[in-house]
Amino acid sequence: MKSLTAPHILDGNAIAAAIKAEVAAEIEQLRAHGIRPGLTVVMVGNHPASEVYVRNKVKTSASLGIVGEMLTPPESITADEMLTLIAALNARDDVDGILIQLPLPRHIDAKRLLEAVAPEKDVDGFHPVNVGRLQTGQPALAPCTPAGIIEMLRRAKVPVAGQNAVVVGRSDIVGKPMAMLLLHGNATVTICHSKTKDLASFCRSADILVAAIGKAGMITPEMVRPGAVLIDVGMNRVTSQTEFDRFFAGDAKREAAFQKNGSVLMGDIDPHAFELASYYTPVPGGVGPLTIAMLMANTVRAARLRRGLSVS
């Protein structure tokens, strides 16, 4: 059974552009007071895939008026040297946001390093102090992806209060903070994970279904209630023709991209399920662009909070 009305696409690119324009205007105002927010991204070692993301973050920063900096210590850097580097960034007055690009080499304890970042500069919102602030509903730096999803729902006027929200995935980066933000929005929240019994029935109970799993097309149409809001966080590469045909048969544009590049990006939700939705986020072009926009917003927020200025 299809949704009674045609599904609305939640256009992440358009919403991210609007957020970035607002951030740029805010930076302009701060500049009049002699404040220029700064963001430092630290990427350890050589990761061609991450490098594209990191460069993109620094480039976007610059385009909005944030002073972006990229530090690339070698893979051989020791844990102590990393802690010294973070301490130096914590002490720098021109740095408002510090982001440590994951994954880190095995010999560096990521949790310990993330805890070394000053909570007021933790623009990823991963520090236990910010996790606690988020949980207790105090002004905090919230993780960018879930914060972006909430912002998207707010701007698209998708009701959250009183809705049954089901979040599939319980990572510290996406699933858990997502559930907490939905709870603060007065949704009734269920968190599912790999040990959940009868995942399908939980998913079918969702008015808002957030998939943050990392498994291509795992949420099938049978798991979706007609009229549900579908938020697809997953970013998976489809490389096999069989898998491609299962999800995208008849999609000529995507087929051309698949033949040209040998792969296409897709989310955790089978695209056939989108036909049932009232609203859905496409992949690509849904949740992804919001993450970077919220990183920019968090950097400005950090700059304001650190100076005792008001934040919304």
Q: Which residues are catalytic?
A: 57, 101, 124
Told to check if 234 binds ligand NDP by CB under 6 A, we report yes
Single out the segment in contact with ligand NDP by CB under 6 A; choices: 25-33, 87-95, 229-237, 271-279. Answer: 229-237
Answer for which of 10, 99, 149, 174 binds ligand NDP (CB under 6 A) is: 174
Enumerate residues 6+ apart whose C-beta is below 8 A from 202: 166, 190, 192, 196
The pattern of x and - marking residues 107 through 146 that bind ligand NDP according to CB under 6 A reads --------------------------------------x-
Q: Is-contact 205 212, C-beta < 8 A?
A: no
Answer for which of 59, 193, 237, 307 binds ligand NDP (CB under 6 A) is: 193
Least gap, CB of 176 to ligand NDP (angstroms): 9
Nearest to 146 by CA among 128, 170, 164, 122: 170
Told to check if 168 binds ligand NDP by CB under 6 A, we report yes
Count of residues in contact with ligand NDP, rule CB under 6 A? 25
Any idea what the Cα angle at residue 43 is, between residues 41 and 46, rounded to 5°?
Answer: 150
Query: In the structure encoding, which two tokens stand for residue 162, read together?
Result: 């009183």
Which residue, judged by CB position, is nearest to ligand NDP in the bound state? Answer: 171
**Exposure string (b/e) for 15-42, b if CB count within 10 Å is 16 or more?**
bbeebbeebeebbeebeeeebebbbbbb
CA 276 to chain centre: 24
Single out the segment in contact with ligand NDP by CB under 6 A; choices: 63-71, 151-159, 179-187, 231-239. Answer: 231-239
Strand-pair partners of 219? 269
Site for ligand NDP in 26-85 (CB under 6 A): none
Answer for which of 3, 291, 298, 299 binds ligand NDP (CB under 6 A) is: 291
Told to check if 236 binds ligand NDP by CB under 6 A, we report yes
Answer for which of 7, 65, 68, 288 binds ligand NDP (CB under 6 A) is: 288
**Length in residues, the chain:** 312
CA 96 – CA 306 distance, rounded (Å)? 8
Least gap, CB of 191 to ligand NDP (angstroms): 8
E-strand ranges in 47-142 read: 67-71, 97-100
* Residues near ligand NDP, by CB under 6 A: 145, 168-171, 173-175, 192-196, 199, 212-215, 233-236, 287-288, 291
